[in-house]
Structure 1
Amino acid sequence: MTADSSTPDIIYTKVDEAPELASASLLPVIQAFAGAAGVSVGTRDISLAGRIIAAFPERLTETQRQSDDLAILGDLVKQPEANVIKLPNISASVPQLVAAIKELQAQGYDIPDYSEDPSTDADREARARYDAIKGSAVNPVLREGNSDRRAASAVKNYAQANPHRMGDWSKDSKTRVAAMSGDDFFSNEKSATLDKAATARIVLETAKGEVVLKEGVKYPAGTVVDATFMSASALDSFLASEIERTKAESGVLFSIHLKATMMKVSDPIIFGHAVKAWLAPVFKEFGVRMAALGVNPNSGLGDLLARVKGDQEIMAAIDAVMAERPPMYMVNSDKGITNLHVPSDVIIDASMPALIRAGGKGWGPDGKEADCVCVIPDNSYAPVYDAAIEFFKANGKLDPATAGTVQNIGLMAQKAEEYGSHPTTFEIPEAGTVRMILEDGTVLHEHKVEAGDIWRSASARKAPIEDWVNLAIDRQRLTGYRAIFWLDAERAHDAEIIGYVKPILEAKGVADKFEIMAPREATRASLETITKGENTIAITGNVLRDYLTDLFPILELATSAKMLSIVKLMQGGGLFETGAGGSAPKHVQQLVEENHLRWDSLGEFCALGESFRFLAEAKGNAGAKVLGDAVDAATQGILDHDRSPGRKVGQPDNRDSHYWFARYWAEALAAQSDDADMASRFKSVAQSLAESEDAIVAELAAVQGKPADLGGYYHADPEKVAKVMRPSATFNAIIASLG
């Protein structure tokens, strides 16, 4: 697709769960205000349901079909005109994908089931389409640039003036990180930088012959290509040992922290190993019977229990094993939802920072907080959390009132590193040797593997790496902050990346302004820096970008949803992300039960201001700059007057914050002197919003405290959502008057 006059000036993505519900309230405000300056704001659907619908057009009616908006946006972000505001979307685990499919089928969509074990060509084709949707399907397509994430100044200032509660750390806390002693992805990694463009095939050579795992994997010159594997037997031994060790530690919760959404092949398998380890005696005795019932441990304990609940003998065996296990970290103690129930319920980048913020505590099955064993099998990033826990044990909790900040420059363009490994990750079917073979016969990498091992290859291309380093140089120059490349010279991949970093820094004469540290040391150095009230820039790869831009914001701000996230697209466009959506499911649950949405749209406000200013510069639209500057003033007003949503029913919620945002935005536009016509137009709007405050607030409050009908979870009814999220007729009429 080529961007043309039919492409809106700004694309606002349609997503899922709480962010999408909030959009139903906020987007009409944005479109009305932007229209006053001749700026068009359109939408593209990258929700899980939208992606499923787009994948099966031939099975649907004309009214049901919709365009493949993700593919359209994937082309747009390669154009210099791109201006996209991206809200958090679901990176679906298999249980989420299956639930969305069932909901759509119930709504009359003729889409196929997701087959765990496809046996026909039709099943295999449907499975292939679904596999392209699950996990991190959206971000690698849209992120055609590297990441600049930081707390907006107004947000950071507010957090320091209004520090959030932090849990107390004890020096004798039993909370710890447990990682494998070897035979993990970290220890088995091999890496090489290609001196010329190449095409690789990945094969498994066994005693029976050669099995082709993947063909035609193309790499441009300069690509860093990695390969590694995790031993299934070593993983099983490690998990069994940690379960027993946790039990011996008495009163400590067992927990496992993975990324079974973004790492949609490897981590669900690891999660399944944890489920099997937890119920090892049950699988040993009843494994065949459970398989016949459709049990797949990768889908979690919740799915397993639902499938075997009619078999009293298996249920009795499960109860007996559970009684002998240590207490488990809980997602929801009241409802009995454990760490192992659903693979997407405990996502490491959200779960570990929350635990650390809480003083190393997690919720147990008794509804009480306790210390935790945090199982993170692979050592690539486990040291980050281990170092953080040990730091706080020794030094006590961070003080948000005085803490400095950690900004992040993240390498993520063009499916960089592990998050781009899904098509080249395999659960090995039988023992043998995996080889990556280039077209000239060169064996780039090889590993001896056993059945069940998890083998994967990832890569990072030259242009994104160089762009990332230059982005870091620019950020350090603008701020003067301490700048650290989080790279471990002893890790194969990182050593290759360092081979790019050092020459660029030296060529630009800035090598003395940067440090290079392994993640463990960089974590400690960053915590020491912000504890002193100073600031630092973490310059990281893709996974650490994801992990750190939750860890530090949750410690500094109490949430990562308020982060400013700018992706400078490599072809000149802009992608403006709005924070994390890890807590979104709980917000939806509360809305459905109590008609209270506590989602905070501050991330959307921050992204919106940046998007308008980018548009002003890219297209010479002076009105867009006026809008953007006024957005910043409105955002400051939300913070200064504490207009963010409350957590409990009866308190102002997300819809109230949007009223106040619109009011402060209108007041800022009316007060500015750069555009007299706009000032005149918004003067009456600001006046109406102020005069109608009591009526609007009352109308918004009146709907709280009773169930809300959305007409669906993954594919909600737009009319029902609009009724729930826009309940103030007075507010709606004022916004409509701008049309």
Structure 2
Amino acid sequence: MSQAKIFYTLTDEAPMLATHSFLPIVKAFTKPAAIEISVPDISLSGRILANFPEVLTEDQRIPDYLAELGQLATQPEANIIKLPNISASVPQLEEAIAELQAQGYQLPDYPAEPKNNEEKSINARYAKVLGSAVNPVLREGNSDRRAPKSVKDYAKANPHRMGTWTADSRTEVAHMTEGDFYGTETSVTAENAGKFRIVFYAQDGSEKVLKNYAPLQAGEIIDSSVMNISALKSFVETAMARAKSSDVLLSAHLKATMMKISDPIIFGAIVETYFKDVFEKYKDTFAGLDINPNFGLATLFEKISGNAQETEIKADIEKAIENGPRIAMVNSDQGITNFHVSSDIIVDASMAALVRGGGKMWNKDGKEEDTVCIIPDRTYAGFYDAIVQDMKKNGAIDPRTFGTVPNVGLMAQKAEEYGSHDKTFQITGSGTVKVEDENGNVLLQQNVQNGDIFRMCQVKDAPIQDWVKLAVNRARLSDTPAIFWLDKRRAHDAQMIKKVEKYLQDHDLTGLYIRIMDVKDAMLETLKRGREGKDTISVSGNVLRDYLTDMFPILELGTSAKMLSIVPLMNGGGLFETGAGGSAPKHIEQFIEEGYLRWDSLGEFLALQASLEHLAQTQDNSKAQILADALDAANAKFLQNDKSPARKLGGLDNRGSHFYLAMYWAEALASQTADTDLAATFKPVADAMKSNEQKINDELIAAQGKAQEIGGYYRPDTAKTYAAMRPSATLNTIVDGI
């Protein structure tokens, strides 16, 4: 039997910890099927080190695994399991660099505002690892994300707690009415292949090339839009007054990781507007300390520490909070506000939690309150406004009866990567930004003022065709209506609608319910159907895909980590994603403090099953199919017996859930009759695990309740982490003996 290979990515935080427990099981169980498990390091620290080989010693250097995987994703043999990774904000990047430097890696500091060519070069290299740096490289296909039937059935039988919505809830979504990306967006479809560049023509007659010539494909949709910074700050003042007069919390909800250039600036504008008096009073001091509001209060507090004016500044910040609307909290116990760090307020996670919680967020006393949600740009604010209004009118959904909302998402070949690429800029000066072809023809243009954010986006034609095909196939295979979430009043979506209508004609739609609806109407129709127990496939662009695949899973299942996420790569390979990682930071912090990991690895179990099935089908590996079928049975038993991590210390944690998955998997393999060799291999394994069940549980639980020393947060020591995540000698002996 020829050797097959699955690439199982090593990432960050809680998923990284879980990998150190689950991976030895995966390697042991797949070895009899001649499957090699390769573990490329695409963690934040790994990506940093891969970008600076010349400053590292020979034994410190690691390959650029992300680039290698990106190349692999274009090949038919690709089989990649992708776990959640850190989409780094600048504060996270700086923390990771500091940790690596302390571990002996001679990395340069991150120059946030480079002063010379050397610093500009260093800044550009670090920029490669900021924000959503991984996903655009690997996603050479569109997304098929859904809750498996076994997961959905379990959620209905064991519903999670939902907050109570009332008609008099004062929670609302505040958005701009002019000067935002939505209002300024222009879009065209390229008729011919060629090149484009982005140039800023200033009013003083100067010119600056923001992006030099890059390829443009025939049939490609391109957009440009601008966020007017003055209009943004004026809007924030209005939202503050609204929250103050309504006597509710004020909260900001952005996506400063994926939209790594635009949204941190928007976040900074919100912070600077709220603390306007503070920033004006200490303008010179803040300039001397290199304080940037885009990095939030956490960095501000760090930089004023020890300064002669520290006490005075903190007092004025407290005074501003007392006089302004109350700020929603990320962590009331630690005094961490919604304005501390931009990466703490990721809109897809924060708004889904708010909707599940009855429209509430936490105040400084740890009590729940209504809130005015600042989501400045109308492009997606309507998504959240529609669901808030529906909840006020109809109350919270009932997870016991609600239908399911799978998603088919457009994301192949960096489709709709707003803000996480090299086509977003904050403009210095006033003038015009033009997108020109190689012949000087103006494709798009925007008038801009000092401080405005300009962004451009591309969506190639082939991914759109593939997206439409995937949506039609999913609708037919599951006999489920599908709705394309596209807003005809939005310039980009108007171009998309033309293509969708064209490519739908390539398919037999007989008996299928497929519609194109504005975002608000699609939300209301999907909720209406869901409340009636009916399923609806959401077909959406890249950013909405993120929002949809957090919102509905969190409402339906209580978490987005239990979703099956398959990316059929356009050249025949498979990418299998393991759910969202929004809770990963809290879980690793708890593990380091008390040796208890609440992270649920069900997403990994589901992805592995799909990966094995894909491998069996593409490489004619019958043993891989048996492993996949047995794992499917194990997953069902895992859910039936509720072996996900418990909520409290002293119960089953992530490591215990891995043990039960392994035992159920071994039992299923031992009892199957299609392959006697596999059955004979796993019969003693299953027997040993069953007979030692209590002993293994005791060893795993005995490891809880004490602080863990793993040698780092971003780049922990491998041996220490394996020791912490594999504390049962009995289980290790069984697994390693396969």
TM-score band, normalised by shorter chain:
over 0.9
Distance in 2, matches of 1:683 and 1:403, equals: 41
Partner of 2:234: 237
Q: Which runs of 5+ in 2 are unaligned?
A: none
Distance in 2, matches of 1:708 and 1:616, equals: 39
Per the alignment, in what secondary structure is the counterpart of residue 27 of structure 2?
A: helix
Residue 173 of structure 2 corresponds to residue 177 of structure 1: yes
Partner of 2:287: 291
Partner of 2:501: 502
Q: In 2, are the aligned partners of 1:420 and 1:459 still within 8 Å (CA)?
A: no
Partner of 1:367: 366
Partner of 1:713: 713
Deviation by residue 1:123-149 (Cα, 9 ceiling, x = unmatched): 111111000110011000000000000
Deviation by residue 1:672-705 (Cα, 9 ceiling, x = unmatched): 1111110111000000000011110000010111
1:8: Cα distance to partner?
5.7
Partner of 1:488: 487
Residue 440 of structure 2 corresponds to residue 441 of structure 1: yes
1:245: Cα distance to partner?
1.5
Partner of 1:681: 681
Partner of 1:574: 574
1:240: Cα distance to partner?
1.2
Deviation by residue 1:519-543 (Cα, 9 ceiling, x = unmatched): 1110111111111001000000000
Residue 219 of structure 2 corresponds to residue 222 of structure 1: yes
Partner of 2:5: 9
Paired-residue identity, % = 54
Partner of 1:33: 29
Distance in 2, matches of 1:499 and 1:483, equals: 17
Counterpart residue type for residue 413 of structure 1: A
Per the alignment, in what secondary structure is the counterpart of residue 239 of structure 1?
A: helix
Distance in 1, matches of 2:374 and 2:65, equals: 38
Per the alignment, in what secondary structure is the counterpart of residue 422 of structure 1?
A: coil
Counterpart residue type for residue 9 of structure 2: T
Per the alignment, in what secondary structure is the counterpart of residue 680 of structure 2?
A: helix
Partner of 2:731: 731
Per mean C-alpha deviation after superposition, the further-off stretch among 260-269 and 286-295 is 286-295
Distance in 2, matches of 1:583 and 1:393, equals: 27
2:269 to 266, 273, 290: 273
Distance in 2, matches of 1:341 and 1:422, equals: 25
Partner of 1:137: 133
Per the alignment, in what secondary structure is the counterpart of residue 445 of structure 1?
A: strand
Per mean C-alpha deviation after superposition, the further-off stretch among 473-482 and 314-323 is 314-323
Q: In 1, are the aligned partners of 2:4 and 2:34 still within 8 Å (CA)?
A: no
Distance in 2, matches of 1:446 and 1:701, equals: 62
Residue 56 of structure 2 corresponds to residue 57 of structure 1: no
Distance in 1, matches of 2:287 and 2:155, equals: 51
Partner of 1:607: 607
Distance in 2, matches of 1:85 and 1:509, equals: 33
Q: In 1, are the aligned partners of 2:90 and 2:295 still within 8 Å (CA)?
A: yes
Q: Which runs of 5+ in 1 are unaligned?
A: none
Deviation by residue 1:276-325 (Cα, 9 ceiling, x = unmatched): 01110011111121121121111111111221245333223222212212
Residue 117 of structure 2 corresponds to residue 121 of structure 1: yes
1:70 to 42, 66, 69: 66
Distance in 1, matches of 2:415 and 2:358, equals: 33
Distance in 1, matches of 2:203 and 2:223, equals: 25
1:506: Cα distance to partner?
2.4
Counterpart residue type for residue 471 of structure 1: L
1:504: Cα distance to partner?
1.7
Deviation by residue 1:354-398 (Cα, 9 ceiling, x = unmatched): 010000011111110011111100001111111101111111110
2:185 to 165, 186, 189: 189
Partner of 2:584: 584
Per the alignment, in what secondary structure is the counterpart of residue 528 of structure 2?
A: helix
Partner of 2:394: 395
Distance in 1, matches of 2:652 and 2:270, equals: 41
Per the alignment, in what secondary structure is the counterpart of residue 154 of structure 1?
A: helix
Pair 682,419 (structure 1): closer, same or farther in 2 beyond 3 Å: farther
Distance in 1, matches of 2:504 and 2:461, equals: 15
Partner of 1:44: 40
Partner of 1:641: 641
Distance in 1, matches of 2:418 and 2:734, equals: 45
Partner of 1:516: 516
Partner of 2:257: 261
| Aligned positions of 1:323-362 closer than 5 A | 323-362=322-361
1:182: Cα distance to partner?
1.1
Partner of 1:81: 77
Distance in 2, matches of 1:85 and 1:180, equals: 39
Residue 295 of structure 2 corresponds to residue 303 of structure 1: no
Counterpart residue type for residue 619 of structure 2: K
User: What's the TM-score once normalised by structure 2's chain length?
Assistant: 0.98
User: What's the TM-score once normalised by structure 1's chain length?
Assistant: 0.98
Distance in 1, matches of 2:133 and 2:639, equals: 34
Partner of 2:14: 18
Distance in 1, matches of 2:310 and 2:703, equals: 44
Aligned pair count? Answer: 733
Per mean C-alpha deviation after superposition, the further-off stretch among 309-318 and 364-373 is 309-318
1:42: Cα distance to partner?
1.0
Q: In 1, are the aligned partners of 2:321 and 2:327 still within 8 Å (CA)?
A: no
| Aligned positions of 1:377-388 closer than 5 A | 377-388=376-387
1:241: Cα distance to partner?
1.3
Counterpart residue type for residue 554 of structure 2: I
Partner of 2:321: 322
Distance in 1, matches of 2:194 and 2:328, equals: 46
Residue 692 of structure 2 corresponds to residue 692 of structure 1: yes
1:633: Cα distance to partner?
0.9
Partner of 2:465: 466
1:637: Cα distance to partner?
1.2
Counterpart residue type for residue 518 of structure 2: A
Per the alignment, in what secondary structure is the counterpart of residue 709 of structure 1?
A: coil
Per the alignment, in what secondary structure is the counterpart of residue 533 of structure 1?
A: coil
Distance in 2, matches of 1:311 and 1:642, equals: 51
Residue 101 of structure 2 corresponds to residue 105 of structure 1: yes
Distance in 1, matches of 2:501 and 2:63, equals: 45
Counterpart residue type for residue 212 of structure 2: E
Per mean C-alpha deviation after superposition, the further-off stretch among 304-313 and 185-194 is 304-313
| Aligned positions of 1:594-633 closer than 5 A | 594-633=594-633
Q: In 2, are the aligned partners of 1:140 and 1:419 still within 8 Å (CA)?
A: no
Partner of 1:422: 421
Distance in 1, matches of 2:412 and 2:2, equals: 27
Q: In 2, are the aligned partners of 1:93 and 1:261 still within 8 Å (CA)?
A: yes
Q: In 2, are the aligned partners of 1:409 and 1:537 still within 8 Å (CA)?
A: yes
Counterpart residue type for residue 687 of structure 2: Q
Partner of 1:540: 540
Counterpart residue type for residue 116 of structure 1: A
Residue 700 of structure 2 corresponds to residue 703 of structure 1: no
Counterpart residue type for residue 147 of structure 1: S
Counterpart residue type for residue 613 of structure 1: E
Q: In 1, are the aligned partners of 2:258 and 2:420 still within 8 Å (CA)?
A: no
Per the alignment, in what secondary structure is the counterpart of residue 14 of structure 1?
A: coil
Q: In 1, are the aligned partners of 2:197 and 2:437 still within 8 Å (CA)?
A: yes
Q: In 1, are the aligned partners of 2:468 and 2:503 still within 8 Å (CA)?
A: yes
Q: In 1, are the aligned partners of 2:180 and 2:378 still within 8 Å (CA)?
A: yes
Per mean C-alpha deviation after superposition, the further-off stretch among 578-587 and 643-652 is 643-652
Distance in 1, matches of 2:629 and 2:2, equals: 26
Distance in 2, matches of 1:122 and 1:470, equals: 47
Distance in 2, matches of 1:370 and 1:6, equals: 60
1:496: Cα distance to partner?
0.6
Per the alignment, in what secondary structure is the counterpart of residue 188 of structure 2?
A: strand
Per mean C-alpha deviation after superposition, the further-off stretch among 307-316 and 166-175 is 307-316
